[in-house]
Amino acid sequence: MKETIESLRFRITKRFGTKTVLQDFTLEVRGTQFITFLGPSGCGKSTALNIIAGLIPATDGEVSIDGERIDHLPPEKRGFGMVFQNYALFPHMTVFSNIAFGLQLQRRPAAEIQERVRQMLDLVQLPGFEGRYPGQLSGGQQQRIAIARALVLHPRLLLLDEPLSNLDAKLRIEMRAEIKRLHTSLGLTSIYVTHDQVEALSLSDWVVVMKDGILMQAGPPQEIHDQPASVFVADFMGFRNFFPTQVVALGPDRMVEAAGNGMKIRGKTRHPLSAGASVVAAIRPDDIVIGGDAGSPNAFRGKVDIVEYLGRDDEAIVMLEVGGRLWVRTGVRVTPGENVTVVLPPDRVIFLTSEVPGETK
Residue 65, classed as helix, strand or coil, is: strand
Q: Is 90 in the site for another protein (CB under 8 A)?
A: yes
For the CB of residue 87, give the shortest distance to another protein in the complex, in Å. Answer: 7
Q: Is 289 in the site for another protein (CB under 8 A)?
A: no
From 93-101, 209-217, 317-325, 328-336, give the range in contact with another protein by CB under 8 A.
93-101
Site for another protein in 40-79 (CB under 8 A): 50, 53-55, 74-76, 78
From 137-145, 210-218, 229-237, 299-307, give the range in contact with another protein by CB under 8 A.
137-145
Site for another protein in 222-251 (CB under 8 A): none
**How far is 346 from 280, CA to CA, in rounded Å?**
14
From 132-140, 263-271, 274-282, 293-301, give the range in contact with another protein by CB under 8 A.
132-140
Which helix (H) or strand (E) element contains residue 26? strand 19-30
Q: Is 88 in the site for another protein (CB under 8 A)?
A: yes
For the CB of residue 90, give the shortest distance to another protein in the complex, in Å. Answer: 6
Strand partners, 325: 319
One-letter amino acid of 120: M
- The two beta strands, 214-219 and 206-211, are antiparallel
**How far is 283 from 281, CA to CA, in rounded Å?**
7
**How far is 330 from 151, CA to CA, in rounded Å?**
44
Judged by CB under 8 A, how many residues of this single chain contact another protein?
A: 38
Q: Is 86 in the site for another protein (CB under 8 A)?
A: yes
User: Residue 90, by phi and psi: left (phi above 0), alpha (psi -120 to 50) or beta?
Assistant: beta
One-letter amino acid of 243: F
Q: Is 327 in the site for another protein (CB under 8 A)?
A: no
For the CB of residue 53, give the shortest distance to another protein in the complex, in Å. Answer: 6
Write the CB contacts of 226 (distance below 8 Å, at least 6 apart in sequence): none
**How far is 71 from 89, CA to CA, in rounded Å?**
26
| Helix segments in the chain, DSSP class H | 45-53, 95-105, 110-123, 139-151, 169-186, 197-203, 221-226, 231-236
Residue 48, classed as helix, strand or coil, is: helix
| DSSP state, residue 355 | P
The residue among 190 and 197 lying less far from another protein, judged by its C-beta, is 190
The residue among 159 and 179 lying less far from another protein, judged by its C-beta, is 159
Q: Is 106 in the site for another protein (CB under 8 A)?
A: yes
Which residue among 10, 25, 37, 87 contacts another protein (CB under 8 A)? 87
The residue among 23 and 86 lying less far from another protein, judged by its C-beta, is 86
Q: Is 81 in the site for another protein (CB under 8 A)?
A: yes
For the CB of residue 101, give the shortest distance to another protein in the complex, in Å. Answer: 5
Site for another protein in 138-157 (CB under 8 A): 138-139, 142, 146, 149-150, 153
Q: Give the DSSP letter string of 95-118.
A: HHHHHHHHHHHTT--HHHHHHHHH
**How far is 281 from 266, CA to CA, in rounded Å?**
9
Residues that bind another protein (CB under 8 A): 50, 53-55, 74-76, 78, 80-82, 84-94, 101-102, 105-106, 133-136, 138-139, 142, 146, 149-150, 153, 159
